[in-house]
Structure 1
Amino acid sequence: MQKVTLAVETEHKILCSRCGYELYHFKRRVVDKGLALVVTALLLFIPANFLPIMKLKMFGQQTYDTVWSAVIALYKADMTIIASLVLSCSLFIPLIKLICQLLVLISLKRPSIRSTGILLLKCYQHLREWGMWEIYLLGILVAMVKVGDVAELSLGVGLFCFTALLLIQVWLDSLMSLQQLWQEIEVESGHAGR
């Protein structure tokens, strides 16, 4: 395959010359759009994980469930390994991933921290598969369906924040093409070296 260097300011696609399949789609203003999405995701992170996802009323008792309370409940039930895994995959790794995304995008705007941006892009590349938000949301939906017959359920603000955070993260992941980010870092590094 031949290496192609293109100006990254324009939106364009690279297609297979034989079949026309879209190999890459370079989008315009990825850094600006990405920064807006990352900041929004970071603002939603705390309410999504610490505000009640749902209120459960059963046999006269009321409980408010959050992502954090699920981790605590697993820990109190002597499921330390599972609690650690849920804590890592639903809180720590997604937060580190968002911070990496933020700093990578900032490094594209500020050449002085470009080498840090390259390291963080490598870190982000490895963390992409470790987020567990989609699975956690499916678990919440299944629990709501199963428990809905025997208890009174009401949705909390945390669920809406969590869903918005998940959708923004999916949008951000589709926007932040690794191929394009590496291309932009390479182009910017070339300009910085001159």
Structure 2
Amino acid sequence: MIACPSCDALHVERDVPVGETARCVRCDTVLEAPRATAMTRIIMLALAALILMVAAIFFPFLELEAAGRVQRASLLDTVTAFSRGLTAPLTFAMAALIVVLPSVRFIALIYVLGPMAFGHRPAPHAERVFRIADHLRPWAMAEVFIVGVAVALVKVAGLAHIFIGPAFWAFVALVIVTVLKDNFMSRLTLWKTLERRRAS
């Protein structure tokens, strides 16, 4: 039996053919959606996300001009802005939620899916690594950060001239790539694939 992640309705587990979609009979949530090239797409998107993360960290994020003064800031500057005094724990929280946890999740997915995408047996401890990646999903808050930045830009726009840097667009692309990756990924299908490949 498998439980729907949304409404907990129980369903009899069956093999779903590639290209078909199994949905919950109660709330219509997708339970399983195996696709022929899903693992390859997830790996490519995870690699793209890691590259975009590097660009978002080190390239200029925003440039503010007010009263003849220009201030440039990168994502790294934003994270370290609270590194002194009582706000130091906020630095670790921002770094973890915006940079570290998403990056760890991307690397974990590549580690789990990489060998299987080439037809090999799963890597050692792949099940444990995939479980960690799955648990990290709610805590990887890159999309929350970009929404917060957008709200702040609206409020600051009347006080200074704002120039958006390449890191901002890299971060926007990172959020889009992450959403696409999560849409391609069927957790139940991946668990079944891990079990089947491990047993073979």
Q: 1:3 aligns with which of 5, 9, 13?
A: 13
Q: Deviations over 1:119-152 (max 9, x none)?
A: 2101101101111111110111111111110101
Residues 16 and 33, structure 2, Cα contact 8 Å, conserved in 1 = no
Structure 1 residue matching 2:138: 3-state secondary structure: coil
Amino acid at match of 1:142: V
Q: Give the counterpart of 1:170 among 145, 157, 179.
A: 179
TM-score normalised to the size of structure 2?
0.85
1:82-125 Cα deviation digits (max 9, x unpaired): 11100111111111011011111113235444332212101101
The reply to whether residue 35 of structure 1 matches residue 48 of structure 2 is no
Question: 5+ unaligned residues in a row in structure 2: which ranges?
Answer: 1-10
Corresponding residue for 1:152? 161
- Counterparts of 1:26-105 in structure 2, within 5 Å, are 26-28=33-35, 29-76=37-84, 78-105=86-113
Q: 1:180 to 1:151 in 2, by over 3 A?
A: same
CA contact (8 A) 1:11 1:25 kept: no
Give every structure 1 segment of 4 or more consecutive aligned residues whose post-TM-superposition deviation is greater than 6 Å.
none
| Alpha-carbon distance change, 151 to 20 in structure 1, aligned in 2, over 3 angstroms | closer
**Contact 1:56–1:153 (Cα < 8 Å) also in 2:** yes
Q: CA separation in 2, counterparts of 1:77 and 1:145?
A: 29
State TM-score, norm by structure 1.
Answer: 0.88
Give the number of aligned pairs. 188
- Alpha-carbon distance in structure 1 between the residues aligned to 2:29 and 2:90: 41
- Relative distance call for 1:22 and 1:13 in structure 2 (3 A) is farther
| Distance verdict in 2 for CA 1:14–1:58, change over 3 Å | same
User: Secondary structure of the equivalent of 1:56?
Assistant: strand
Report sequence identity in percent.
22
What is the CA–CA distance in structure 1 between the aligned matches of 2:29 and 2:159, rounded to whole Å?
50
* Residue 24 of structure 1: aligned partner: 31
SS of residue paired to 2:162:
strand
Q: Which amino acid letter does the alignment assign opposite residue 45 of structure 1?
A: M
Structure 1 vs Structure 2 CA RMSD: 2.0
Identify the structure with the greater helix proportion: 1
